[in-house]
Amino acid sequence: MIEATFPHHLVQNAIVSSLQEDLGLAGDITGNAVLKADEIISCSITAREAGTVAGMPLALATFKALDPKIKLAKKMSDGDKVKAGDVVLAIKGNSRATLAAERVALNYLCHLSGVASLTQKFVQQTKGTNAAICCTRKTLPGLRAFQKYAVRAGGGRNHRYGLDQAVLIKDNHIASAGGIKQVLERVKKLASHMVRIEIEVDTLAQLETVMNYKVDAVLLDNMKPAQLEKAVALVDGRAITEASGGINLQTVKKIAQTGVDLISVGALTHSAPIFDFGLDYR
Amino acid sequence: MIEATFPHHLVQNAIVSSLQEDLGLAGDITGNAVLKADEIISCSITAREAGTVAGMPLALATFKALDPKIKLAKKMSDGDKVKAGDVVLAIKGNSRATLAAERVALNYLCHLSGVASLTQKFVQQTKGTNAAICCTRKTLPGLRAFQKYAVRAGGGRNHRYGLDQAVLIKDNHIASAGGIKQVLERVKKLASHMVRIEIEVDTLAQLETVMNYKVDAVLLDNMKPAQLEKAVALVDGRAITEASGGINLQTVKKIAQTGVDLISVGALTHSAPIFDFGLDYR
Amino acid sequence: MIEATFPHHLVQNAIVSSLQEDLGLAGDITGNAVLKADEIISCSITAREAGTVAGMPLALATFKALDPKIKLAKKMSDGDKVKAGDVVLAIKGNSRATLAAERVALNYLCHLSGVASLTQKFVQQTKGTNAAICCTRKTLPGLRAFQKYAVRAGGGRNHRYGLDQAVLIKDNHIASAGGIKQVLERVKKLASHMVRIEIEVDTLAQLETVMNYKVDAVLLDNMKPAQLEKAVALVDGRAITEASGGINLQTVKKIAQTGVDLISVGALTHSAPIFDFGLDYR
Amino acid sequence: MIEATFPHHLVQNAIVSSLQEDLGLAGDITGNAVLKADEIISCSITAREAGTVAGMPLALATFKALDPKIKLAKKMSDGDKVKAGDVVLAIKGNSRATLAAERVALNYLCHLSGVASLTQKFVQQTKGTNAAICCTRKTLPGLRAFQKYAVRAGGGRNHRYGLDQAVLIKDNHIASAGGIKQVLERVKKLASHMVRIEIEVDTLAQLETVMNYKVDAVLLDNMKPAQLEKAVALVDGRAITEASGGINLQTVKKIAQTGVDLISVGALTHSAPIFDFGLDYR
Amino acid sequence: MIEATFPHHLVQNAIVSSLQEDLGLAGDITGNAVLKADEIISCSITAREAGTVAGMPLALATFKALDPKIKLAKKMSDGDKVKAGDVVLAIKGNSRATLAAERVALNYLCHLSGVASLTQKFVQQTKGTNAAICCTRKTLPGLRAFQKYAVRAGGGRNHRYGLDQAVLIKDNHIASAGGIKQVLERVKKLASHMVRIEIEVDTLAQLETVMNYKVDAVLLDNMKPAQLEKAVALVDGRAITEASGGINLQTVKKIAQTGVDLISVGALTHSAPIFDFGLDYR
Amino acid sequence: MIEATFPHHLVQNAIVSSLQEDLGLAGDITGNAVLKADEIISCSITAREAGTVAGMPLALATFKALDPKIKLAKKMSDGDKVKAGDVVLAIKGNSRATLAAERVALNYLCHLSGVASLTQKFVQQTKGTNAAICCTRKTLPGLRAFQKYAVRAGGGRNHRYGLDQAVLIKDNHIASAGGIKQVLERVKKLASHMVRIEIEVDTLAQLETVMNYKVDAVLLDNMKPAQLEKAVALVDGRAITEASGGINLQTVKKIAQTGVDLISVGALTHSAPIFDFGLDYR
């Protein structure tokens, strides 16, 4: 179902750029010299470990781009859980095109499945709590739309996509505006009514001041579990509560048990190791 | 010195795309609503851990793109080693522009320094040996030129940039051509004399056959240290020897001690965690 | 102050495209044939009617693009009110470059000032009420970022920039999901916590149902003033109220007096006549 | 028949840009959250008023871009006259794709049909005369090719597409060259023989001087009907006569009756209100 | 003076593309490995033969793109005649940037000067006649704007830039329309009044028919000098006469002496050998 | 077989750009005015002389781009030898689309077949020798990928595609590094092991020094046949030998007979006259 939310309108430009990055002007000089021109091969993309798939539409589009007649039998969809040995895609097509597309297709699939699988690990840790896992703007340049989608494929939720999608007020903003009251008045006056307003606080005292005003969400930065519990109690449902700051797979469960609504984790998109897929001849 | 080899001709397009990715059509709606329009701020980018810097030209260009009058005092260059607390860049500029550029600049700098720092860790493990660490084509789509540069900044060397830069013959190529002899004849006939030829082998037997012919390099795939030693002896300086396949920080030293010339590590570019930099007001 | 929120990161690509649209491959064949190559002219852009300025950064960038040494003395800023005869920009530069840039610069300036001036007329009608005027997604393809900015320059506010910035639920969405309860549950589960949720209603009965749930805003579609008053009373501050549907300069005052928070007007961006500026030699 | 002259070679890039403008990185977050993933809907685009259609190829391409399997039954073609209630396009396709494409498709269709319909109104006023209605370079940035086509769909004719297509000499050109004789000599010497030469005159005296030389067309700027009649008599078929300057639906008939060949109207492209189309479920 | 008509608005995109074509992702790997990072060199671009210069703005922009601080002393301008040994550009800049830009700069300069020099040779042959030399649409893909400019730099004139700039009616058009009368009626009705109309004829009989109607120019295809003389007499100043079809440096003089106005030569842009420039250290 | 190595991933962008270059905003104004909208024509592309074909994939893609339903019957493939009168492509499609695409398709086909045919002439001269003909980086901006492919279609081989593909050390590099020993040490240390290293020498003395070190290839610049023979003897198979410098069809045979491995000829790509193809109605 997640795959239906894939940003398909961005695929063609992404694929063309990535293929040019790998093929340059000369193309696959190995395949061009060595492979028979009209050889048809059968191969499949197989998981080498357990995790969550993301990026299938990019993989498919990459192979199609170099061989419009290629036969692609999709065995898994984004969001599906796989184990080592599971085939996600069976391929029958021209050998030159298939091998020329292989690396680009796998680079997308392995990276995005890495993001989804890491997200899923965090999500697992929050089971039984109310907390959702979400991403940040700490993404890899050029890959944000696909990474944010992979977070969803892994069971996570999206924080704002960019500076244009929501207001997030930090210390420096408050200082420049002259105080919490002033900053919120300015936002109310100048920002669109269609964007949410979140404000970052470091202490419970700050949070208390903030809660005198109406905000959509509070970002509780670098708070310990005990503090977070108090913060959640203080907010008392009047705003979405988001915990943030260096949260990892070891600490996330404790954070989730404090009752916060959201836990944002930069590592989902800035430090996810790849998920290992390989292409094997059959 | 490494910074002089930065691919400057790719910076402008990269920066414009990345800024549009984060700013969308509406721009920084928080800063636009909240910050004073003509406020000048002083801040700096500081390392939060120890490692190797890469990506300074991109960080500088990002800030300049949004505030052409910004003052940027570079304290460190790519390839430099930093420890937690070291300032790499001091900034004095318009607050809206600076904060709107912050995330894009940091996303480049943190990711590329992550690549450089991981590379450097591998390089440290090979000290006292003849082996160099090098990257692969397992890069993140759209970032290859910068990632490959970051590998150099971390003390590594570059394998081929793309399918267009060198010939690398694998099992499937040999099968399609009809054997090692045939594959090398085809390459010699059809590939440019200006590209190197490497061939992948899985066993010493294969290697022996290969060494009957002239190749520039042999890729010794997934061999154990003992096998690698024999392979190096067998090659005996007639070709560059490259070890490859799942090598990590725990195993790299043993591999390096086998006498191979090169050790290629996909993780440098596909799974490097970020290096943590932050922007602090002064 | 509005000009500080201009989307500067989009200017260069816009200008280059627009100049290529007007200059083609051959350039200004009249100027090239007829004007002296090194002639310096002085001219100014003058308002031919009364209204509100928008688009100065685009006009300036257009002239600079064709003559980097041109002298541009800005007399007015976006958001300023002008009357017929007011000079907004004094220009001294190469005659070929100036006349080649003239039409593109004026096309931007006249259109965006048209949008700002029309917005300002609507805003004038709402004086003394609580209602703000805002735009829609009914923009001219390729010009949305600049048009939405021009609405702000005219004293209006922005509705969502695109389908990606906020949730707006309409009849068809409710039908597909199976009812208001179901649609809001799905949104809460699947949409980011950082986006606002608005829902469109046509009748007071629908509104009553909707108000059983938590939404950020209600779009009151095609309601008469009497209905709107009742709707505002019914909502009673629990959500932002937005009136929409064929509202024009004749009807907007009555609508504003009903107490709604926002009045959205598609015509601001889809049907604004230009504001008349001319370039005169001095 | 007009539709066969549509600039099809520009459609793909236009559509991709416009969809990215509306969908951003995140896509249609409402539809993605709320609509069933595989729902097929039937709907149609219907005229809400009477006028002339333009932009069908863009509307069709937009829907196809998001759902390649969509069924589109075209009921009207560009240049056709429609009345309120007429269906121009029947659609059967995936609900998410259809609704995500709706606004972009309508923004093109409504704007271009607005241009065509306004043009047609002017054309109606010239019935029984020899005068044709034509457009100017006062177009909206990025939309020129489509707007000029829409003018043709409305029964108008095109003036030059850009500075590169024809020579149009104005006062400043004459002054810089040193006189009418000099300016025409320079043009004859330097401009291509394949471009037409038009010259602007403000008075009959100027026109008399101009007619001593060979030009293709004369632009009679801001002349009253009585003056225009004299001008037409003076030219006596030796050049195309074009009336220009603030001509509107009230004045155009009188202008047309003076015998001029062409009447150029900037408002066709810079100030056309949209033509109202809506998308309705069936 | 010709250089003032250079299409400057197309330079930046051209340069960026060409540099990426030569530098790829890795850049100048020779210079990066071998040259000192901060070395300043002095060199110059020198003519190795006699001819006419074209393309200086592209050469200058290429060097500037890689070294913004480079010092460029222009010694010659486009349209200037040079002899072997003449310096056209003196350069002082960073050695890596200068040598990385060298080939792209020279590829533009040598090709465009080749076009200009060949044009000039044809122009020389027409001295004492009324005939001008002009180019065709037989250009090299991607280079038309610059090639057409180079033709002007060599003393030639431009035929239409593209299918969009003027009407040129050929046999197939006449057949499809049903005859010369019909084709010209359709053009008059449907084409803009701002474009010229030329018609191609193969025989004097055809020409006679054509001259019953009003056209701007006649293309006399593949006619012998004797035929051309008769054609010119037949036209008698009522249209521009253009000779075309396999005309070369041996035949052009005879053609020019027939009294035709224009001689179009496809070879100027499709087959011009380069003009030899070299970059020498000083 | 050569056609299977065509850089297909670059075709779409190339075609779109080239069509926009010829069609501008207005399209084919002649065809639009004159041709029947739904006329189907049959025509073919025929060789007007003898030579070698290159560029068929671009020609086909150009026609398809403007008429997706066009029927294209390929009679010849790239690399095939043709004589005057041979049909290479039979076409049946919409007349407007076919004639609008004709010039772009022919411009690619004629230029690239020109490159292939000239290459083939050089190759013929080397028959019976060991020498291969290869191209240089002296290509026409924007066309390198296609030109280098055309060289292969003509029987030649490719030198490096760009500065990024291989190391080529020249005098200035040696001077900057401080000598041949130093330059090669730097290259070995800093350049990737996957790139070849070639060094240019002007004299036999230089060559002798160079041969003390290990290089992949030596470029013997501007040497006479007698010198080349000595150079080949001196190298004695330890490196690839390449002759370069002003070699033409008159001199190439003598050069080839010296025993050099490669002869590089800039003229293949910078000065190839077109091969003459025409489109004829059937």
Give me the residues of E, 138-177, that contact C with CB < 8 A: 144-145, 148, 158, 161-162, 164-165
What's the CATH fold of domain D124-270? TIM Barrel (3.20.20)
Whether residues F186 and E33 touch (CB distance < 8 A) is answered with yes
Cβ-in-10-Å burial (0-12, 13-18, 19+) of E213 comes to middle
Among chain C residues, CA nearest to D105: C141
pLDDT in tens, B216-235: 999 999 999 999 999 999 99
Specify whether the CB–CB gap between F79 and F2 falls below 8 A.
yes
Q: What pLDDT was estimated at residue E191?
A: 86
Spell out, as residue ranges, where chain F has pLDDT lower than 50.
none
CB contacts of B197 in chain F (<8 Å) are none
Cα of first residue to Cα of last residue in chain D, in angstroms, is: 30
**CA-only gyration radius of chain A, Å:** 23
Q: Is D159–E261 a contact, with Cβ atoms under 8 angstroms apart?
A: no
Q: Is the pLDDT of residue B1 over 80?
A: no
Catalytic residue among E48, E75, E81, E103: E103
pLDDT band at A191 (very low <50, low <70, confident <90, very high): confident
Amino acid letter, residue B148:
K
CB C60 within 8 A of CB C83: no
CA–CA dist A138, A131 (Å, integer): 21
CB contact under 8 A, B134 and F192: yes
Contacts of D37 in chain A (CB under 8 A): 1, 4
Quote the pTM value: 0.97
Taking 3-state DSSP, the helix, strand and coil percentages for chain E, each rounded to the nearest 5, stand at: 45, 20, 35
A-F CB pairs within 8 A amount to 35
As given in the structure block, the two tokens for residue B17 are 């795309």
What residues of C act catalytically? 103, 138, 170, 200, 221
3-state secondary structure of D131: coil
CB contact under 8 A, E21 and A24: no
- Structure token digits, residue B107: 């996303």
- Comparing alpha-carbon positions, the chain A residue that sits nearest to D66 is A9
pLDDT digits (tens, 9 = 90+) for C117-128: 999 999 999 999
Residues whose CB is less than 8 angstroms from the CB of residue D7 and which lie 6 or more positions away in sequence, other chains included: D145, D146, D149, F23, F25, F26, F27
Q: What percent of chain E has pLDDT over 70?
A: 100
- Tens of pLDDT along A75-130? 999 999 999 999 999 999 999 999 999 999 999 999 999 999 999 999 999 999 99
Contacts of B165 in chain F (CB under 8 A): 164-165, 194-195
- List, in sequence order, every residue forming a beta bridge with F277; answer none if it has no partner: F47
What phi, psi does B36 have (nearest 5°)? -65, 145
Q: Please name the residues between 184 and 213 in chain E that touch chain F, using a CB distance below 8 Å.
A: 186-187, 189-192, 195
Question: Dihedrals φ, ψ of E194, to 5°?
Answer: -95, 10
For chain F, list the contacting chains (3+ Cβ pairs, <8 Å). A, B, C, D, E
- The alpha carbon of residue E59 is apart from the nearest alpha carbon of chain C, in Å, by 18
8 Å CB contact of D145 and F26: yes
Whole-number pLDDT of residue D191: 86
Instruction: Report CB contact under 8 Å: F25, C24.
Output: yes
Return the pLDDT at B191.
Answer: 85
Do the Cβ atoms of B85 and B50 come closer than 8 Å? no
Interchain contact C21–F (C-beta under 8 A): yes
Which chain A positions have a beta carbon within 8 Å of E25's beta carbon? 21, 24
How far is the C-alpha of E252 from the C-alpha of C213, rounded, in Å?
A: 85
Name the residue type at position E193. H
CATH number for the region E8-116+273-281 comes to 3.90.1170.20
For residue E54, pLDDT over 80 is answered with yes
> Residue F184's pLDDT is what?
93
- Is residue F221 a contact partner of residue F246, using CB atoms and an 8 Å limit? no
**DSSP class of residue B50?**
-
Q: Which residues pair with F263 in a beta bridge?
A: F133, F243
* Banded pLDDT at B130 (limits 50, 70, 90): very high
* Mean pLDDT value across residues B95-104: 97
The mean pLDDT of B105-116, rounded to a whole number, is 98
Check if F38 contacts D (Cβ < 8 Å): yes
The tens digit of pLDDT for each residue in E96-148 reads 999 999 999 999 999 999 999 999 999 999 999 999 999 999 999 999 999 99
Query: C244-272 burial by CB neighbour count: b if 16+ within 10 A, else e?
Result: bbebeeeebbebbbbbbbbbbbbbbbbbb
Q: Is the dihedral angle over the CA atoms B136, B139, B142, B145 positive or is it negative?
A: negative
Q: Does D225 touch chain A (CB under 8 A)?
A: no
The neighbours of chain C, by the rule of 3 or more Cβ pairs under 8 Å, are A, B, D, E, F
* pLDDT at position E190 over 90: no
- Which pLDDT score is estimated for E189? 86
Strand partners, D43: D91, D281
Our CA-based measurement puts residue E263 at a distance from the nearest CA of chain C, in whole angstroms, of: 20
Averaged pLDDT, A221-227: 97
pLDDT tens digits, residue range C171-212? 889 989 999 999 999 998 888 889 999 999 999 999 999 999
| Cβ neighbours of E19 in B, within 8 Å | 9
Q: Which percentage of chain B shows pLDDT scores above 70?
A: 100
Q: Which of A164, A214, A165 is nearest to A188 (CA)?
A: A214
- pLDDT band of A39, cuts 50, 70, 90: very high
Contact map slice: B 71-130 vs F, CB within 8 A: none
Residues E238-252: pLDDT tens digits?
A: 999 999 998 999 999
Residue ranges of chain D whose pLDDT lies below 70 = none
- Determine whether E221 is an active site residue: yes
Q: Do A167 and A196 form a contact (C-beta atoms < 8 A)?
A: yes
Element (H, E) at B144: helix B144-153
Q: What pLDDT, in 10s, does the model give residues C17-35? A: 999 999 999 999 999 999 9
Phi, psi of D20 (to 5 degrees): -65, -35
Query: Quick one: pLDDT at residue C191?
Result: 86
- Within 8 A of B159 by CB-CB distance, chain F residues are 192-194
Catalytically annotated residue among D28, D86, D198, D200 = D200
Average pLDDT, chain A: 96
- What is the domain partition of chain C in residue ranges? 8-116+273-281, 124-270
Return the minimum-mean-pLDDT range out of A153-162, D110-119, D172-181, E62-71. Answer: D172-181
Q: Going residue by residue through chain C (282 aa), what tens digit of pLDDT does each one get?
A: 799 999 999 999 999 999 999 999 999 999 999 999 899 999 999 999 999 999 999 999 999 999 999 999 999 999 999 999 999 999 999 999 999 999 999 999 999 999 999 999 999 999 999 999 999 999 999 999 999 999 999 999 999 999 999 999 998 899 899 999 999 999 988 888 899 999 999 999 999 999 999 999 999 999 999 999 999 999 999 999 999 998 999 999 999 999 999 999 999 999 999 999 999 988
Strand, coil or helix: D214: coil
Cα A164 vs. chain centroid, distance in angstroms?
18
Whole-angstrom CA distances from C151 to A122, B162, C124, C156, D19 are 43, 47, 13, 5, 22
